[in-house]
Structure 1
Amino acid sequence: MTPDQLATLLDEANHAPTYSVRAALARVDGQPHPRIAALAAHLTAVKQDVWAAVSAATGAAAPPADAGLTRLMTWEVGAIRALSPGSLSLSVNHAGATSTVAELLRALARHTLWHAGQMAALANRPRLA
């Protein structure tokens, strides 16, 4: 995959109108289920961690440390597009495993969609006090 193709993949996981984090959060009506906030915080932390590893391997800029999930999702799409094609084959260590930058970013897209589905499932779940 090229940087542009990877950027499109992650952009769709983050922002597509039907199946994405943005679409799942848009389904929330009223007070969100507390697990949605936990999932959003987890996803933010994972994205920050992945991008710290990618940044260390490629020399690319790290994400803004104060970026929340929405800002981080937009930032990372541009960050992928800024990577050189050669940087995608560089080795990167993350979570105790070694992979290429491209493999790690594809895993991030899958991870993002996994949590988008969880958020969507909780979006309209009634909260019991």
Structure 2
Amino acid sequence: MTFGAEDLATLLDEANHAPRESVRAALATIDGQPHPRVGWLTSHLSATKREYWTLISGATGRPAPDDDAGLTRLMVWEVGAARGLSAGALAQSVQHGGQSLTVAELLRLNARHTAWHAGQIAALAGRARMA
């Protein structure tokens, strides 16, 4: 199955921002002091998204995200950046985790990775903070 830029942007947008079952939705359920693991998960998501987009930038010549963008800004930025990728850019190869992937495959990995951690954040949202 081949995904175009609009398809990939939609996958990322849904994993990042959908009203239910997204990072934004999971974070919105946290009331009060979050579980310490939530902080790690959001930092990890920011770091991995930057890593993915640095690889994409190197392969496509497109700009990488601003270093000072937090997770919320980064999630918005990447949806627009994905929409702007050409079919040729999506077909470029990158090396990630010892594997050769196309940019399109890396974006699909990004969406799956984001959804995975959104679920973890949601599971932790109701837990009381431990000292």
**TM-score, length-normalised on structure 2?**
0.96
Cα-to-partner distance string for 1:92-125 (whole Å, 9 max, x where unaligned): 1123221000001000000000000000000011
Q: Return the letter of the residue paired with 1:69.
A: L
| Aligned: 1:12 with 2:33 | no
1-structure distance, mates of 2:78, 2:84: 10
Q: Return the letter of the residue paired with 1:39.
A: L
- For structure 2, the residue ranges without an aligned partner over 5 or more in a row are none
Question: Is contact 2:15-2:111 (8 Å) kept?
Answer: yes
Name 2:53's counterpart in structure 1: 51
1:95 to 94, 97, 113: 97
Name 2:83's counterpart in structure 1: 81
Residue 76 of structure 1: SS of its match in structure 2? helix
**TM-score, length-normalised on structure 1?**
0.97
Identity of matched residues, %:
64
| Post-superposition offset of 1:44 | 0.2
- For structure 1, the residue ranges without an aligned partner over 5 or more in a row are none
Residue 31 of structure 2: SS of its match in structure 1? coil
Residue 83 of structure 1: SS of its match in structure 2? coil
- In the TM superposition, structure 1's runs of 4+ consecutive aligned residues that sit over 6 Å from their partners are none
Residue 17 of structure 1: SS of its match in structure 2? coil
1-structure distance, mates of 2:112, 2:22: 11
Across the aligned residues of Structure 1 and Structure 2, the Cα RMSD in angstroms comes to: 0.8
Residue 79 of structure 1: SS of its match in structure 2? helix
